[in-house]
Structure 1
Amino acid sequence: MQDETELAERIARVALGQSRHVAKILAGLNNSPPPSTKAAQAAAIKLLTVPEGKETWHRDGWIFQTMSWLVATQASPSSLTRAPHMILAHKGFDGLQLEIDQTTGRVSTAVIFEDKATSNPRQTITGEVWPEFKLLESGDRENVLTADVSALLCTRPDVDPDKAIENIIWKQVRHYRLSITVGSQDFTSDEGRKQLFKGYDDIAIGDVTRRRGEIFYVEKLRPWMKALAGKTISFLSS
């Protein structure tokens, strides 16, 4: 998705609560958008507006989580990918994606997302992401994961949720996807990315498919996010 105007429109649709419509577009379906109300537009604009005197971190974090969802949904349209939370600074998982084994009917892969819009990527990874993934590997919040998986499976009436979640107690079924912003080209080379994600294999051991790492390169992160939010609000206002 190279066009920022198109990106802003899709973020706006998600902010309106129309993630299902956006997912259909990403899957290649050409359908008309659902109607929206003035109240929904106002709420979406509020979601993307930073209150006077407040930091932009929560707004920027939500936008980046939505961008991460867009990429993950487009890359794997057959998977079940949870739409972004509509509450800023939600304390749950940043994202969740499920792959269902068509033969057994069980969850074959549960991908837990960590999406970080930051100007200090390596420090954020070592100080925030690795500790979170380490806790999840130890079984922490397994009840939350089970509940979130069950809720997501409710969108698939053809899948038996009780049967589907049997596999998620096994570590190899739990995969991790870290998406992070970088503002230095030092991290865009193969060697730079190795340094950025150094230690990942010590946290989520096993096959490399359990460890996904993605970067989004943008210089001057906060001004870029502000401009993108402005384009999104303009679309909503029109």
Structure 2
Amino acid sequence: MPITFTPISRASEWSGNSWTISSDDELAKLVAQVALGQSHFAKRVLVETGFRPSSPGSTTLQGAVKLLSASDPKKPYHRDGWLFQVISWIAAHLQQPGGLIMEPHMIHAHKGFDGVHVHLDGVTGHVERVTICEEKATQNPRNMITRIWKEFEEMERGDSDHRLLSEVIMILRLGSGIDVDKAIENLIWKNRRGYRVSITVPTKADYLELFEGYDTAVAGDVSKRGSEVLPLTNMRDWMAAVSAKAIDHAKKVVQANV
């Protein structure tokens, strides 16, 4: 698989993983499938050995290339942000095979949750936990994280409960055989939520200092505070290279179907 994981943590404050990209090519192929509107098939590739997705139509290529391109090469922030959210989605499926995970956005700079994961209790069928994700490609991770803490504090106050509930219902409806009414019973009022920060960092980042203040922004058990990092030496250059690989792969799979 294209990403491997090494656990990281700090006592009772937070826990998570450091990611290593084991194959840029394999990662780019999955990203290309998502960009072509085939996230359903990309998910099956991640969990089913030998699964081969169907070929996309040529009409999907233009939109895929747009997603994988920076309109201004000097300002690739939106392209890189979208790409990192897809990488985080791939990582989440590798960590939770078959999980109920919000599909990737299909536009740059989407206004809303970066990601939402829904965990069901295997006995009762109720929602056990909803994990709200912030997924950021940045060259200044500490500055970004201090902004994320403010957003998490707002979510803890319930400022986004209406949007969260709507998103959870949409995710549950994609699951097979799920009783949606039963699953969301008392969801918001019992405060069954956790958080997951996924962020790019320099290769020699001090993770202990990076997530300082997490337990202040989000109180409670350490399981509520997830921290995922992707160390990269030259983040912007790497994002551009993976995007170029993904565009090449998207063109190949579309041409093969013409």
TM-score by length of 1: 0.93
Higher strand share: 2
Counterpart CA distance in 2 for 1:30 and 1:166 is: 38
Give the deviation of 1:123 after TM superposition: 0.7
1:140 correspondence with 2:173: no
CA contact (8 A) 2:45 2:53 kept: no
Q: Deviations over 1:70-111 (max 9, x none)?
A: 010111013201111001111110001111112111110111
Counterpart CA distance in 1 for 2:115 and 2:144 is: 18
CA contact (8 A) 2:45 2:52 kept: no
1:43 correspondence with 2:43: no
Q: Which amino acid aligns with 2:166?
A: A
**Which shifted more, 71-80 or 143-152?**
71-80
Higher helix share: 1
CA contact (8 A) 1:108 1:167 kept: no
TM-score by length of 2: 0.86
Report the equivalent of 1:118. Answer: 138
Q: 1:183 aligns with which of 181, 202, 205?
A: 202
Report the equivalent of 1:155. Answer: 174
Give the deviation of 1:160 after TM superposition: 1.4
Counterpart CA distance in 2 for 1:173 and 1:228 is: 36
Report the equivalent of 1:77. Answer: 97
- Superposition RMSD in Å: 1.4
Q: 2:82 aligns with which of 43, 57, 62?
A: 62
Give the deviation of 1:167 after TM superposition: 3.9
Please show how residues 81-120 of structure 1 align to structure 2 within 5 Å: 81-120=101-140
Counterpart CA distance in 2 for 1:216 and 1:68 is: 9
Q: Deviations over 1:105-134 (max 9, x none)?
A: 1110111110010000001101x2001101
Q: Deviations over 1:32-90 (max 9, x none)?
A: 21221111012101111112466211100000000000010111013201111001111
Structure 2, unmatched stretches of 5+, are 3-21, 253-258
1:233 correspondence with 2:243: no
Higher relative contact order (CA 8 A, sep 6+): 2
CA contact (8 A) 1:79 1:100 kept: no
Q: Deviations over 1:132-151 (max 9, x none)?
A: 10100000110000000000
Runs of 4+ in 1 over 4 A off after TM superposition: none
Counterpart CA distance in 1 for 2:220 and 2:74 is: 42
Counterpart CA distance in 1 for 2:55 and 2:217 is: 45
Give the deviation of 1:166 after TM superposition: 2.1
Give the deviation of 1:28 after TM superposition: 2.7
**Identity of paired residues, percent?**
41
Q: 2:29 aligns with which of 1, 6, 9?
A: 9
CA contact (8 A) 2:88 2:135 kept: yes
Q: Which amino acid aligns with 2:174?
A: T
Could you say if the C-alpha distance between residues 166 and 54 of structure 1 is closer, same or farther in structure 2, counting changes exceeding 3 Å?
farther
Counterpart CA distance in 1 for 2:70 and 2:171 is: 30
Counterpart CA distance in 2 for 1:53 and 1:197 is: 30
Q: Which amino acid aligns with 2:188?
A: I
Q: Count the aligned residue pairs.
A: 232
Please show how residues 18-33 of structure 1 align to structure 2 within 5 Å: 18-33=38-53
Give the deviation of 1:31 after TM superposition: 2.1
Counterpart CA distance in 1 for 2:238 and 2:23 is: 14
**Which shifted more, 53-62 or 101-110?**
53-62
- Secondary structure class of the residue paired with 1:169: coil
